[in-house]
Structure 1
């Protein structure tokens, strides 16, 4: 009996020695991907579950979305979420893609806008998510960067509200975020909208400076995708599984 107690104590101490509190830099609320006020959302729950499988606990640090990469570059943080090479982060730090977004342009249907390509946004007031100019590609940047009626906003619920109120012509944001935020509003404010598919599906990674931690994360992520736990989380938050719709090696496309 004494031997069993000693063995249990050794195993407990061994686990405690390797377990870490992982500080994860997370962009402010992007429901249903990140719901900071509830410490939840698809991305948070997925990463939390992966780290728990690895024997670690997650400590989220919420920051404005554009600051994630800069905080990682300063050092001291274990991980940053929702990043790709367009965010001026060392590509060597990026994990395999763990989440996919599809940015779209959205307009009110009653405006009858013909928007079939990025150039069609010229002359319209456009509001986009923060860092959109940096990550949506050169054509988007060259077309809108110097347009006076183009702006970026971190609060995507405010972005959707401005569109539906008619204060801006077009909103550029992820399709799932738009639908989620729109359906949180009173029914009388949910004006009919038109989705303009101007951008392809985009893959995002986590950035992890520690090589061993990054390799372990990739291994467990692959297990989650293979055994169905990834799909279960997608279903919980009402998200489409882009992995099944993409080529076997999806490109790291901006946003």
Structure 2
């Protein structure tokens, strides 16, 4: 009965919309979320599948992240991915959240490094993603400014390599990006790691100016989550499902992987 009601609701929403190829702004290569050379990745595959259910096709436009808002303002695209209200986008045009990112401090379990706060990073050798010192908060930025062993790196696969080979004590990056690159190297398969949750999570939506298209997208996303297709796609890319964090404000602390 629930499925029937969903189909009826969806048909009511999308009835006025004609099938078309939609221009979708996607950020540069960011595995496993976006894999540019394959026109794939979790976000690309998810939105492509949602639009297909709605009768549309996806035409990806890969741009530096800073250009996304301008393209929206110029009404040059139909959809823009990986946005939230912090990006100075009108909340009214944002879809329901479809993905959660969370930066974590990662250590090797066999090192038994205790990290319960940013203060605990002091005197540790730390490698992080580019701009981390600017975007992870004032306390983190100030702490790393005085750390002679702190390094930022654009290639996040190299971050993972340096941690797993023992070249640094701590790597800081998105937990799903870490899992993806760790799983890509069989040499790390038996090595356990610990995620220290020092930073809050970020929920991301799609910016969809057309109200009818946005409503249909939200309904279809809800159905993807309900019928298991969302989880299956997460499993394909070995991503953790973090959507529960939208409704769970408890502090889960360290977690092992």
Query: What TM-score, normalized by structure 1, do the two folds share?
Result: 0.73
Q: CA deviation at 1:205?
A: 1.0
Residue pair 2:180, 2:238 contacting (<8 A) in 1 also: no
Residue pair 2:183, 2:189 contacting (<8 A) in 1 also: no
Query: 5+ residue gaps in structure 2?
Result: 1-14, 251-257
Give me the whole-angstrom Cα distance separating, in 1, the residues matched to 2:120 and 2:73: 36
Change (3 A) 1:249 1:112: closer
Cα deviation code 1:21-52 (max 9, x no counterpart): 22222223332222222222221111001111
Cα deviation code 1:102-155 (max 9, x no counterpart): 321113456554321123234445433345456545544555478676555443
Secondary structure of 2:159's match?
helix
Secondary structure of 1:233's match?
helix
Counterpart in 1 of 2:87? 87
Counterpart in 1 of 2:4? none
Q: How does 1:104-253 map to 2 (within 5 A)?
A: 104-109=104-109, 112-130=112-130, 132=132, 136-137=136-137, 139-141=139-141, 143-144=143-144, 150=150, 152-185=152-185, 187=187, 193-244=193-244, 246-247=246-247
Query: 5+ residue gaps in structure 1?
Result: 1-14, 251-255
Residue pair 1:27, 1:62 contacting (<8 A) in 2 also: yes
Change (3 A) 1:147 1:54: farther
Q: CA RMSD in A?
A: 3.4
Query: What TM-score, normalized by structure 2, do the two folds share?
Result: 0.73
Secondary structure of 1:23's match?
strand
